[in-house]
């Protein structure tokens, strides 16, 4: 089957998009979640009804609290052996004494990765296991919106006081009656952070006006980060903590009255590894101590052998029961039974029933086939025997038998709880490695296939034979299919965890396996072909003679360097710097190229013209000319080496020489428009200055000038109708911005009431659609009636200007200059650099790609989720409508790369006369440029999945990359449809 390189590239990219989707689905497990907490106020379940008529239990409310005051002391990075090990015995004598002899229960709580403070706090307080998707869902809102213990306590009228890490204050705004947040910014600060917490302690412990006190100590974590767990600094810090615990405990005991006991909880959010860092899943990082100290517990006679293991999420349910609150809806934790062990059997059964009921409801909401779940079945059985037990109890049977029977029911309940919570947490806590691997394999295979076909796809004909039938009917293909299917069956039957790829239908899975084997066979046959060609002596010397120009070197080095930089979290955070650096260098190299073309070619004109002749006649190596370096005439030999005597004349020459500098200045201005990234994001920038209220008139002026400039730059290649439509549309953009109060008209001074500007925005949408429609009509005409390229390029330009208008509407007004500079740079580059210097399609495509990437960041985007401008999704819409909102937000976010890609298409299709395969080359290069970083990044992320910054840095970047692949696939499809009609001309 013969394929053109455009078609080939787009189909490759589509397959790759499939792989990326599969990878993303495996990487981001869908969280277990229940209804939002506002609707979560369902009535608590009553005790299970005893069978038989007549008897009804009167326990229908939530049981009363077991403890009066609760103090939670959270010590950051407290590892289990700091309390239970030799270090604990040495440095924490009081705690050790309480653990061994006092009235306490001690456990080892297991944290789930990522072992980083913020998700751990969420886990402790909601009982759920937060995944990255939570972060995406709660876009821009750092506050915890799920049902959680703090919120329940606050709604129940408890007064909460908090001192410590200010992550809590951000997570639970307005929840605390009193708080003092300390920042964990200065890791080298060991004492100040903790003193800031402790200084409140004496005062608060004397007071009576609180119910829940939370203290979060950061010092130990900082010591761990700086010096590791075995440093001499750890000992004194533990001693300090021990003294604090002693003080709190004594004060709690002294205050205790007859009514209700108090409770002191000591826990760590995560541990630390042997090097002192955390975030991964090594034993030291995952195991944290969990102590419950209260006079309600019985005094221990013998020291416990080894603390029991529990889950970190169990704390939320236990505390909820202890405080007499409903258990949070999303909690997957189990009640820690010893804590309520002192209560009567009926109460204990009531507590575990509440817990089991909550878990089974969560399971019902998340799994369709919940009835078959063993945990659910166990729970139902236990509930039934609970009902029987209550019947006996209410009948007044109070003997030993009842107690034993009760113990049996309790055991049944505990069994059910364990199974329920393990099947729930299985859905979140881990990466779905199998789906990730399948996705990675597809992505990598496509990349290799693309790389192997580079020489052919960029050849003059831009088409190649894809040997489809031989591999499809080869034995290898079937063997591979069989093998992969066998692997699939083995993996899916043996996997304990939930796996997305396994849950797909068998037909789809087999299809994917066939795809993988077909790609593999394609790669093998391509390799075989290359080896075959390699063995044959090269027929023409052209293939071997290939000289690299500076541009080629830069493009190659830049691409490789950028891909490698994706392995470092700081380089991802500051990726915009990479792109700015690269396009600056590109401009300087272009400047050098221009200088050479303008000044040096005169000297060697005679030699050069002979060269040109040779180039056309025999296509020979063209570097005999000593004093010039003809930029690599890589594939399209007729491109570069045309005579330079008419290169440029007069003023044009000087404008052309100045172009790179103008572009550099534009880029510098844009860079200071939006500070982005992480390290320097707080720096004052021009964008913030403009958006502040007192600079409204400046912003209005800038917006008006920008819109005018956009019109001037866009209109010159449009038809008359589109020109008028464009002008009206841009006016509409301004009036939309003034309607929603961003800018003002010069004649209106008083405060005008601000509307949502729906009419104005829809007015603009009409023109956008109109212009795009006119363009499409032209394109269709050129496609169907005649292959007239001028109609086609007008049509394309009209589509492009329609998109520019849409971008102008969606961009925030201070970002309009980005659009202006985008158009300006494109115009200048086309006129003075690309056309005169006669670069080939591949180079131009890569330059477009680089500029597109740079403009992505010039717009103010970054690799963090927080910079996505969601307001773009509401332009012209009354309320949130999902599909258009997503489309508009995606367009506004990726406007830079998208507009550059469409401009590339406009440019290349006007170049068709010079190089008929230009569009195909462009499409292929564009697909390749996108698939290299995504493939490498997917592998990197898989390797770094336990990295400390996986959720904060790498995952958002992965999402951005994934969405970019989908958008590029769409762009490439558009390219391919545009490439349709002149494919026949190429062949003859």
Nearest Cα residue to 355 out of 379, 327, 330, 376: 327
Residues in touch with other proteins (CB under 8 A): 568-571, 573-574, 577-578, 580-581, 584-585, 588, 595-596, 599-600, 626-629, 664-665, 667-668, 671-672, 677, 679
Report how far residue 276's alpha carbon sits from residue 272's, in angstroms, rounded to the nearest whole number. Answer: 5
Encoding tokens for residue 131? 């995944």
Full 3-state SS string of 909-934: HHCCCCCCCHHHHHHHHHHHHHHHHH
Distance in Å, CB of 599 to other proteins, minimum: 6
Cα within 13 Å of Cα(533), Cβ side: 14
Q: Which is nearer to other proteins, 592 or 692 (CB)?
A: 592
Contact 58, 202 (CB under 8 A): no
Distance in Å, CB of 638 to other proteins, minimum: 23
Distance in Å, CB of 187 to other proteins, minimum: 10
Distance in Å, CB of 570 to other proteins, minimum: 5
Q: Which is nearer to other proteins, 117 or 578 (CB)?
A: 578
User: Cα–Cα distances in Å, from 611 out to 459, 530, 627?
Assistant: 22, 31, 13
Q: Which is nearer to other proteins, 105 or 580 (CB)?
A: 580
Contact 475, 524 (CB under 8 A): no
Q: Which is nearer to other proteins, 585 or 981 (CB)?
A: 585
Encoding tokens for residue 421? 């919570």
Contact 884, 920 (CB under 8 A): no
Distance in Å, CB of 677 to other proteins, minimum: 8
Cβ within 8 Å of residue 836, ≥6 positions away: 597, 647, 648, 656
Beta-bridge mates of residue 165: 182
Q: Which is nearer to other proteins, 345 or 664 (CB)?
A: 664
Distance in Å, CB of 604 to other proteins, minimum: 11
Distance in Å, CB of 589 to other proteins, minimum: 11
Distance in Å, CB of 141 to other proteins, minimum: 26
Nearest Cα residue to 590 out of 797, 294, 843: 843
Encoding tokens for residue 699? 């912003």
Q: E strand or H helix at 487, and its extent?
A: helix 475-494
Q: Which is nearer to other proteins, 623 or 871 (CB)?
A: 623
Q: Is residue 465 classed as helix, strand or coil in its secondary structure?
A: strand
Please classify residue 43 by burial: count the beta carbons closer than 10 Å to its beta carbon, then call 0-12 exposed, 13-18 middle and 19+ buried. exposed
Report how far residue 48's alpha carbon sits from residue 386's, in angstroms, rounded to the nearest whole number. Answer: 7
Angle at which helices 117-126 and 314-323 cross, to 10°:
40
Q: Which is nearer to other proteins, 351 or 580 (CB)?
A: 580
Angle at which helices 882-893 and 789-810 cross, to 10°:
100
Q: Is residue 646 classed as helix, strand or coil in its secondary structure?
A: coil
Distance in Å, CB of 587 to other proteins, minimum: 8
Distance in Å, CB of 551 to other proteins, minimum: 13
Q: Which is nearer to other proteins, 569 or 634 (CB)?
A: 569
Distance in Å, CB of 862 to other proteins, minimum: 13
Q: Which is nearer to other proteins, 569 or 915 (CB)?
A: 569
Report how far residue 291's alpha carbon sits from residue 308's, in angstroms, rounded to the nearest whole number. Answer: 11
Q: Which is nearer to other proteins, 670 or 806 (CB)?
A: 670
Q: Which is nearer to other proteins, 571 or 647 (CB)?
A: 571
Encoding tokens for residue 274? 């042997």
Contact 72, 94 (CB under 8 A): no
Length of the chain in terms of residues written? 988
Angle at 786 between CA 783 and CA 791, to 5 degrees: 75
Q: Is residue 308 classed as helix, strand or coil in its secondary structure?
A: strand
Distance in Å, CB of 584 to other proteins, minimum: 5
Q: Is residue 617 classed as helix, strand or coil in its secondary structure?
A: helix
Report how far residue 217's alpha carbon sits from residue 210's, in angstroms, rounded to the nearest whole number. Answer: 20
Distance in Å, CB of 550 to other proteins, minimum: 9
Angle at 325 between CA 175 and CA 387, to 5 degrees: 165
Q: Which is nearer to other proteins, 134 or 573 (CB)?
A: 573
Distance in Å, CB of 928 to other proteins, minimum: 25
Q: Which is nearer to other proteins, 419 or 675 (CB)?
A: 675
Q: Which is nearer to other proteins, 176 or 850 (CB)?
A: 850
């Amino acid at each position: 089957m013969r394929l053109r390189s455009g078609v080939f590239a787009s189909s490759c990219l589509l397959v790759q998009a499939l792989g990326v989707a599969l990878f993303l689905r495996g990487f981001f497990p869908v969280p277990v979640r229940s209804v939002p907490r506002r609707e979560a106020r369902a009535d608590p379940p009553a005790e299970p009804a005893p069978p038989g008529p007549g008897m009804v239990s009167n326990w229908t409310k939530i049981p009363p609290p077991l403890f009066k005051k609760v103090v939670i002391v959270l010590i950051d990075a407290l590892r289990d052996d700091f309390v239970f090990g030799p270090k604990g015995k040495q440095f924490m004598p009081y705690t050790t004494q309480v653990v061994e002899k006092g009235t306490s229960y001690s456990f080892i709580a297991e944290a789930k990765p990522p072992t980083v403070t913020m998700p751990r706090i969420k886990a402790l307080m909601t009982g759920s296991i937060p995944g990255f998707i939570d972060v995406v869902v709660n876009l821009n809102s750092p506050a915890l919106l799920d049902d959680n213990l703090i919120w329940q306590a606050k709604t129940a009228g408890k007064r909460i006081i908090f001192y410590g890490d200010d992550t809590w204050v951000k997570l639970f705004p307005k929840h605390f009656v009193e708080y003092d947040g300390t920042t964990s910014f200065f890791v080298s600060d060991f004492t100040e952070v903790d003193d800031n917490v402790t200084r409140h302690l004496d005062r608060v412990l004397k007071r009576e006006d609180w119910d829940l006190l939370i203290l979060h100590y950061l010092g130990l974590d900082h010591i761990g980060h700086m010096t590791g767990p075995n440093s001499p600094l750890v000992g004194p810090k533990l001693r300090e903590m021990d003294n604090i615990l002693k003080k709190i405990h004594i004060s709690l005991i002294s205050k205790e009255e007859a009514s209700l006991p108090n409770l002191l909880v000591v826990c760590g959010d995560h541990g630390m590894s042997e090097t002192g860092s955390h975030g991964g899943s090594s034993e030291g990082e995952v195991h944290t101590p969990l102590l419950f100290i209260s006079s309600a517990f019985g005094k221990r006679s013998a020291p416990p052998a080894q603390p029991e293991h529990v889950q970190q999420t169990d704390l939320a349910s236990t505390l909820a029961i202890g405080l007499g609150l409903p258990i949070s809806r999303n909690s997957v934790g189990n009640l820690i039974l010893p804590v309520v062990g002192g209560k009567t059997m009926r109460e204990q059964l009531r507590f575990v029933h509440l817990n089991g009921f909550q878990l089974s409801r969560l399971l019902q909401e998340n799994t369709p086939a919940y009835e078959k779940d063993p945990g659910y079945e166990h729970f139902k059985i236990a509930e039934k025997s609970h009902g029987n037990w209550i019947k006996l109890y209410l009948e007044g049977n109070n003997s030993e038998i009842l107690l034993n029977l009760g113990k049996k029911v309790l055991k049944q309940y505990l069994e059910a709880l364990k199974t329920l919570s393990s099947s729930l947490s299985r859905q979140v806590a881990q990466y779905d490695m199998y789906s990730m691997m399948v996705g990675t394999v597809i992505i990598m295979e496509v990349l290799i296939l693309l790389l192997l076909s580079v020489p052919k796809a960029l050849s003059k004909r831009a088409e190649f034979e894809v040997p489809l039938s031989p591999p499809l009917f080869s034995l290898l293909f079937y063997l591979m299919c069989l093998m992969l299917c066998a692997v699939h069956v083995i993996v899916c039957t043996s996997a304990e965890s939930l796996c997305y790829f396994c849950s797909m239908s068998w037909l789809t899975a087999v299809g994917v396996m066939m795809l993988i084997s077909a790609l593999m066979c394609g790669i093998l046959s391509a390799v075989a072909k290359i080896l075959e060609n390699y063995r044959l002596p090269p027929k023409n010397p052209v293939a071997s003679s290939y000289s690299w120009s500076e541009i080629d070197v830069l493009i190659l080095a830049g691409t490789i360097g950028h891909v490698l930089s994706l392995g470092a979290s700081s380089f991802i955070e500051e990726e915009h710097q990479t792109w700015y650096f690269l396009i600056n260098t590109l401009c300087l190299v272009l400047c050098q190229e221009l200088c050479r073309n303008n000044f040096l070619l005169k000297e060697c004109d005679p030699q050069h013209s002979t060269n040109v002749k040779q180039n056309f006649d025999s296509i020979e190596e063209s570097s005999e000319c000593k004093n010039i370096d003809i930029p690599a005439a890589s594939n399209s030999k007729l491109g570069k080496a045309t005579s330079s005597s008419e290169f440029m004349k007069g003023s044009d020459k000087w404008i052309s020489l100045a172009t790179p500098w103008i572009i550099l200045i534009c880029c510098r201005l844009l860079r200071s428009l939006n500070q982005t990234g992480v390290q320097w994001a707080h720096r004052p920038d021009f964008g913030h200055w403009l958006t502040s209220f007192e600079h409204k008139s400046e912003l209005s002026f800038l917006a008006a000038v920008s819109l005018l400039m956009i019109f001037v730059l866009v209109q010159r290649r449009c038809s008359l109708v589109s020109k008028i439509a464009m002008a009206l549309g841009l006016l509409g953009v301004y009036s939309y911005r003034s309607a929603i109060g961003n800018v003002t008209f010069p004649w209106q001074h008083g405060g005008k009431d601000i509307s949502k500007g729906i009419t104005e925005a829809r007015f603009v949408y009409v023109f956008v659609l109109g212009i795009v429609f006119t363009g499409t009509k032209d394109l269709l005409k050129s496609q169907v009636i005649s292959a007239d390229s001028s109609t086609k390029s007008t049509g394309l330009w009209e589509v492009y200007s329609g998109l520019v208008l849409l971008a102008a509407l969606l961009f925030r007004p201070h970002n309009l200059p980005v659009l202006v500079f985008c158009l300006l740079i494109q115009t200048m580059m086309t006129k003075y650099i690309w056309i005169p210097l006669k670069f080939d399609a591949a180079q131009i495509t890569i330059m477009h790609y680089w500029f597109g990437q740079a403009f992505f960041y010039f717009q103010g985007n970054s690799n963090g989720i927080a910079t996505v401008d969601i307001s773009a999704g509401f332009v012209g819409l009354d309320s949130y409508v999902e599909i258009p909102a997503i489309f508009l937000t995606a367009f506004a976010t990726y406007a830079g790369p998208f507009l550059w890609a469409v401009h590339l298409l406009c440019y290349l299709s006007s170049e068709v006369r010079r190089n008929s395969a230009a569009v195909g080359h462009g499409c292929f290069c564009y697909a390749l440029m996108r698939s290299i970083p995504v493939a490498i990044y997917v592998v990197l992320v898989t390797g770094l999945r336990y990295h400390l910054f996986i959720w904060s840095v790498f995952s958002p970047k992965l999402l951005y990359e994934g969405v970019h692949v989908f958008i590029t696939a769409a762009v490439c499809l558009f390219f391919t449809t545009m490439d349709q009609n002149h494919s026949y001309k190429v062949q003859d």
